[in-house]
Amino acid sequence: MTLEALQVLLSDTPSGLLPARNQMALSLGWHIILACFGVAFPSMTFIVHWRGVFRGDAVALELAKRWSKVSAVLFAIGAVSGTVLSFEMGLLWPGLMGRYGDVLGLPFAFEGLAFFVEAIFLGIYLYGWGRMPPRIHLLMLVPMACAGVIGTFCVIAVNAWMNNPTGFRLNAAGEVVDVDPWAAMFNDGVWLMFAHMWVGAFVVVGFTVAGVYAAGMLRGHRDPHHRLGFIVPFVFATVAALAQPLVGHVLGLRVAESQPAKLAAFELAETTEQPAPLRLGGIMIDGEVRYSIDIPKIGSLIARNSFDKPVPGLDEVPEDERPPVNITHWAFQSMVGIGTLLALSVLLFWFVRWRGRDLLESRWFLRYAVAAGPLAMIALEAGWIATEVGRQPWVVWQVLRTEDAVTDNPWIWWSLAGTAVVYLGMTLGAYVVLRSMARRWRAGELDLPSPYGPESAEGVKEASR
């Protein structure tokens, strides 16, 4: 059966579709994590830096300094992986960019603008340590944080447009006419999708950064530095993790109206049911759902906000317009499952703290806190897979099929392989460098001079002794 499926996959679609899709998935999936840091990290750094400047808290100031150096590394690789994406839009999807470039381009232009602002002020902020008056230096983070918000909105606007295409018309000859780029940018789907992604960025970065300090505490570093390093991002993560289920729920309600096929895949609904059950787990084999745990009526509640409204089934969608059901369903459920876990865990933490017990004393909680960062990343990736795979086979919902957008370039498998190697290398490089930064900080080196030659390398060793 697998072989048959593979044959169908390979024969029916243009040769470039599979590798192009994977390359885009790889580079976008990689970039999305770094983009989160670009969005959320400046705000967190602002809080600790503010505390350092206005309360004279040396520990907080040191945290801000270190976070800014970590931001520099993450921002650099985020910037290049973002550039990769803007190339790939054309290199992989000429059919999309050639036809709809002028419809979807405007938000990208504003995104570029936002990114510009962020890059400039990051440059000033990083090199401003010890060179600018402290209060002005602190202010340099504000445009960075604002640019992060605007940038997120703009990128999501393009994606929302692909899911809710407006702002143009196709004439009888199939040409794109009556282009209104503003209508395309501010399409119906953009606000909720933006909110979901923006809050998601704080979930990911909040838990990840807090997890780093939780790991430090597990190793016995129980100083004010680690406490503050944990609690600031954890507060951000708390607010975001509690807001996210609400945003997600309201966003989900829209899907029933705008993309019933996607909702059907989310809910693993083969036929339309009224009221629909909530299916936990399960897999669809040959059009039948197996191994799922069904909870009556809850499916309707979650998808439609009512106990008896119907959830559309895949039987209402023509066969060649159905998304890959199982991937979509599992990705969606992973996202919701992890999101729920994260929200419950922050509630538990603050409740217990309110009752006078500090969970930071519990090794089990610290272990969980270390895992929460990667879990949040998985939830982010899963959510993104759910919305993107659920949209297939369309690249622009019911207007342009993915197979019509893809390049016919014969070397695309090679470029996929190359991309995989380069991204693996970049991940390893970032890991090695960030880890060695942490080690040198622990060893008491504060300024981390770069060893450009043996003399300075010797100096580094002496300084760390």
Positions 76 through 135 that interact with other proteins (CB under 8 A): 76-77, 79-84, 86-87, 89-91, 94-95, 97-103, 105-106, 108-113, 115-117, 119-124, 126-127, 131
**Dist. CA 252–CA 246, nearest whole Å:** 10
- By the rule CB under 8 A, 57 interacts with other proteins: no
Among the listed ranges 186-194, 262-270, 350-358, 455-463, the one in contact with other proteins (CB under 8 A) is 455-463
**Dist. CA 407–CA 362, nearest whole Å:** 54
**Dist. CA 339–CA 50, nearest whole Å:** 30
Q: How many residues does the chain have?
A: 465
Q: Are strands 278-285 and 176-177 parallel, antiparallel or unpaired?
A: unpaired
Q: Which helix (H) or strand (E) holds 143?
A: helix 141-163
Crossing angle of helices 363-389 and 17-54, in 10° steps, is 140
Other CB atoms within 10 A of residue 231 CB:
14
- By the rule CB under 8 A, 462 interacts with other proteins: no
* Least distance in angstroms from the C-beta of 159 to other proteins: 16
| Cβ proximity to other proteins, 186 vs 365, nearer residue | 186
| Cβ proximity to other proteins, 371 vs 448, nearer residue | 448
| Cβ proximity to other proteins, 124 vs 341, nearer residue | 124
Q: Which of residues 174-233 bind other proteins (CB under 8 A)?
A: 176, 179-182
Residue 285: what are its φ and ψ, rounded to 5°? -120, 125
Question: How many CA atoms are closer than 13 Å to the CA of 392, on its beta-carbon side?
Answer: 19
Choose which of 25, 283, 298, 422 interacts with other proteins (CB under 8 A).
422
* Least distance in angstroms from the C-beta of 416 to other proteins: 11
Choose which of 439, 442, 446, 459 interacts with other proteins (CB under 8 A).
439
Specify the long-range contacts of residues 359-362, CB closer than 8 Å, at least 24 apart: 360/214, 360/217, 360/227, 360/230
* Least distance in angstroms from the C-beta of 231 to other proteins: 26
Question: How many CA atoms are closer than 13 Å to the CA of 310, on its beta-carbon side?
Answer: 10
**Binding residue count for other proteins, defined by CB under 8 A:** 78
| Cβ proximity to other proteins, 279 vs 401, nearer residue | 401
| Cβ proximity to other proteins, 94 vs 245, nearer residue | 94
* Least distance in angstroms from the C-beta of 212 to other proteins: 16
| Cβ proximity to other proteins, 123 vs 281, nearer residue | 123
Among the listed ranges 54-62, 234-242, 367-375, 428-436, the one in contact with other proteins (CB under 8 A) is 428-436
| Cβ proximity to other proteins, 121 vs 384, nearer residue | 121
Q: How far, CA to CA in Å, does 36 sit from each of 111, 148, 151, 265, 376?
A: 15, 9, 11, 27, 11
* Least distance in angstroms from the C-beta of 397 to other proteins: 19
* Least distance in angstroms from the C-beta of 32 to other proteins: 16
| Cβ proximity to other proteins, 296 vs 425, nearer residue | 425
* Least distance in angstroms from the C-beta of 423 to other proteins: 9
| Cβ proximity to other proteins, 80 vs 348, nearer residue | 80
Interaction mask 391-410, other proteins, x per CB under 8 A: ----------------xxx-
| Cβ proximity to other proteins, 251 vs 422, nearer residue | 422
Tokens 């809910």, residue located = 267
* Least distance in angstroms from the C-beta of 349 to other proteins: 33
DSSP SS3 for 399: coil
| Cβ proximity to other proteins, 183 vs 251, nearer residue | 183
- Cα angle 31-35-40, degrees, rounded to a multiple of 5: 155
DSSP SS3 for 357: coil
Q: Which of residues 131-160 bind other proteins (CB under 8 A)?
A: 131, 143
* Least distance in angstroms from the C-beta of 90 to other proteins: 3
* Least distance in angstroms from the C-beta of 40 to other proteins: 18
Residues 6+ apart with CB under 8 A from 80: none
Among the listed ranges 51-59, 202-210, 349-357, 426-434, the one in contact with other proteins (CB under 8 A) is 426-434
Q: Which of residues 279-308 bind other proteins (CB under 8 A)?
A: none
Choose which of 432, 442, 446, 459 interacts with other proteins (CB under 8 A).
432
